[in-house]
Amino acid sequence: MAVSDHVDLNAFIEGVKKRNPGQPEFAQAVTEVAVDIYDFIADKEPYHKYQILRRIAEPDRVISFRVCWEDDGGNIRVQRGWRVQNNNSIGPYKGGIRFHPSVTESVLKFLAFEQTFKNALTGLPMGGGKGGANFNPKGKSANEVMRFCQSFMNELYRHIGADVDVPAGDIGVGGREIGYMFGQYKRLTNEFTGVLTGKGLEFGGSLIRTEATGYGAVYFLHEMLKHQGKDLVGLNAVISGSGNVATHAAEKINQLGGKVLTLSDSEGYIYDPDGITQDKVNFIKELKNVKRGRISEYVKEFKGAQFHGGGARPWSVPCDVALPCATQNELNEEEAKTLVKNGVIAVSEGANMPTTLEGTHVFKAAKVIFAPGKAANAGGVAVSGLEMSQNSARISWKEEELQRMLLDIMQGIHSRCLEYGSTAGGGYVDYVKGANIAGFKKVADAMLAYGVV
């Protein structure tokens, strides 16, 4: 086929939208990747001939199932659960589980698609998957959460396995939920294997898995700044979210000499002009993980801080670096313009696809250093990969070794992004393009080796 006969980019994107009606998040994620890949494969016939991008953008399978559970009032509740197994060309499917009322098939397909590239970027042998349910853990008792997790696993267990598909946590799924799900898997199968990651340290979990995503996002930010001859000392950071990723990003910013001004949840954000220092981060971890409280409670404890409610987001607070660490599409075009106007120099996405397509264009046009989630937040799944290795070998590595491996992996991802995202003459680095192409190439070359399957 002559290059001119290839389906053009617009037709490809229109095709994705047509085949996936009502799935805007999935179409958004595929569009963002396709723009860069089309450029890269323009003169590479095998990728066209074997329809590689078209195949990566069609999940291997989407499993959906009913999840029934009984609430504390004795009422029967019905939720929908999914596992999207996007691509296992370079390793078992791997990716988190999200419990949030906004979960749909579109959201999980976008996440599984992104995960495929992210996992390839880590350099570890992991394919891409994602799962979840439209269950709202907020306000539920621990027993209700346990019953939900058990019921969810009653179906999921038949689709996963240490060499098949290895889920982990994501929004609404932390150590507690992984414990309940692992316990139910073990009960159903009578097997103790590394079928989930993010487990407790007593039953096969890895040191620093909890911290890894937030730490990794800051390591990546630091690498980008270093590449420009800068560091984090004395820089002001605005962070959204107050969960696993946000609190550990805040912790690492503090450790590297920066100052954290904000954190948020879906109700609003806190602004602390004195900085959200380590003792304050510890307070928030306890508030969120043990007391299951809200970020607004911070200002009762720390009087110098303000709470901005009504679902307000923190992007109007002037800063040097911004880390969106809550959820998808939480930073739009207008907010990106505000950040640029206020002098932001770098953005590192702790969350998955938190910046809208239009927002990323604003950052790129203003030459703001911008790390996409699939590169910046890969530290979490990378340490999950290390947890899988430890489980297979039935050993536990020491914290210093794991810290070193995490830093090494984040630096490796940075180098891979530079390889494909640098512009001639050493100017602005397009990390989005770099991550997309480096991630794609590894998966694509494995797929070529397999022929048409």
Which residue of 328, 352, 356, 436 would you call a contact of ligand 2IT, by CB under 6 A?
352
Least distance (Å) between residue 435 CB and ligand 2IT: 13
Least distance (Å) between residue 453 CB and ligand NDP: 29
Dihedral angle of Cα 334, 336, 340, 345, to the nearest 10 degrees: 170
Contact call for residue 96 and ligand 2IT (CB under 6 A):
yes
Residue closer to ligand NDP (CB basis): 92 or 243 = 243
Contact call for residue 354 and ligand 2IT (CB under 6 A):
no
- In the block, tokens 């499917």 appear at 93
Which residue of 23, 86, 213, 348 would you call a contact of ligand NDP, by CB under 6 A?
213
Q: How far apart are CA 406 and CA 128, in angstroms?
A: 19
Which residue type sits at 307?
F
Q: How far apart are CA 173 and CA 443, in angstroms?
A: 28
Which residue of 25, 36, 170, 349 would you call a contact of ligand 2IT, by CB under 6 A?
170
CB neighbour list of residue 157: distance below 8 Å, 6 or more residues apart: 184, 185, 188, 189
Residue closer to ligand NDP (CB basis): 48 or 288 = 288
Which residue of 381, 406, 429, 447 would you call a contact of ligand 2IT, by CB under 6 A?
381
Least distance (Å) between residue 301 CB and ligand 2IT: 29
Q: How far apart are CA 338 and CA 344, in angstroms?
A: 9
Q: Where are the alpha helices (DSSP H) in 291-377?
A: 298-301, 333-341, 357-365, 373-376
Active site residue ranges: 130
Residue closer to ligand NDP (CB basis): 38 or 110 = 110
Asked whether the beta carbons of 116 and 439 are under 8 A apart, the reply is yes
435: helix, coil or strand? helix
Burial class (CB in 10 A: 0-12, 13-18, 19+), 331: buried
Q: Encoding tokens for residue 405?
A: 């491996």
Contact track, ligand 2IT, 192-211, x by CB under 6 A: -----x--------------
Q: How far apart are CA 204 and CA 188, in angstroms?
A: 18
Contact track, ligand NDP, 255-284, x by CB under 6 A: ----------xxx-----------------
Contact call for residue 384 and ligand 2IT (CB under 6 A):
yes
Least distance (Å) between residue 245 CB and ligand 2IT: 9
The two beta strands, 165-168 and 236-239, are unpaired
Q: Which residues bind ligand 2IT (CB under 6 A)?
A: 94-96, 115, 118, 168, 170, 197, 352, 380-381, 384
Binding site for ligand NDP (CB under 6 A): 100, 102, 169-172, 174, 213, 241-246, 265-267, 325-327, 350-352, 377, 380
